[in-house]
Amino acid sequence: MKKGLALVFGTFDVLHPGHLWFLKTASEYGRLIAALTPDIMCRYYKGRLPCRKYEERKRCLEKISYVSKIVPADMRSGSFRIVEKLRPSVIVLGYDQELLRSHLIRRLPDFNLNPALITLKPYRRRLYRASRLRALAENTGNYGII
């Protein structure tokens, strides 16, 4: 079976083993492209800027062998132009991306697209919860494992 393109969305600010597991698992569905959230959109979605700027987060992702390409996610909430442009066969979502999933379900027909939407379960959620890791990173200055 020929695998197509798999797309993930994320900020990947404090990169941790849960992110690596998520990306590795997503790569099993096809050539993996990560749509990386721009800094200003992090503020829009999360109410704060990321710990690390876009370029630094991108450089960390580029070091991961199973991520084929990193592209900036859309600068307008809900436009999903990156999905329209890339036309992935699979979109892999994290367990905490329910709202993104519902928005995709509404918008995909506008692009005449029907990719598989796969939501992964959390990886050791208590240990690798983003809010806990962000607080630790801010206290120690260590913003990722790469």
Q: How many domains does the chain have?
A: 1
Q: Are the beta carbons of 36 and 8 closer than 8 angstroms?
A: no
Residue 124: strand, helix, or coil: coil
| 66 lies in some domain | yes
Q: In the numeric block, which tokens belong to residue 93?
A: 């979502």
| 83 lies in some domain | yes
| 58 lies in some domain | yes
Tens of pLDDT, residue by residue over 118-140, are 999 987 666 555 655 555 556 66
Complete DSSP assignment for 65-101: TT--EEEEPPSSTT--HHHHHH--SEEEE-TT-HHHH
103 pLDDT more than 70: yes
| 114 lies in some domain | yes
**DSSP state at residue 108:** G
Q: In the numeric block, which tokens belong to residue 115?
A: 């990719």
Q: What is the pTM of this model?
A: 0.83
| 28 lies in some domain | yes
12 pLDDT more than 70: yes
| 145 lies in some domain | no
Residue-level pLDDT at 44 = 85
| 78 lies in some domain | yes
Q: Domain with 84 in it: what CATH number?
A: 3.40.50.620
3 pLDDT more than 90: no
Residue-level pLDDT at 123 = 78
- How do strand 4-10 and strand 69-72 relate by DSSP bridges? unpaired
Domain of residue 79: give its range.
4-140
Q: ∠92-74-125 over CA atoms, to 5°?
A: 40
Residue-level pLDDT at 16 = 86
Residues 6+ apart with CB under 8 A from 14: 51, 130, 133, 134, 136, 137, 143, 144
| 146 lies in some domain | no
What average pLDDT does range 10-18 have in this prediction? Answer: 89
Residue-level pLDDT at 15 = 87
Tens of pLDDT, residue by residue over 108-121, are 999 999 999 999 99
Mean pLDDT across the chain, nearest whole number? 88
Tens of pLDDT, residue by residue over 39-63, are 999 888 888 899 899 999 999 999 9
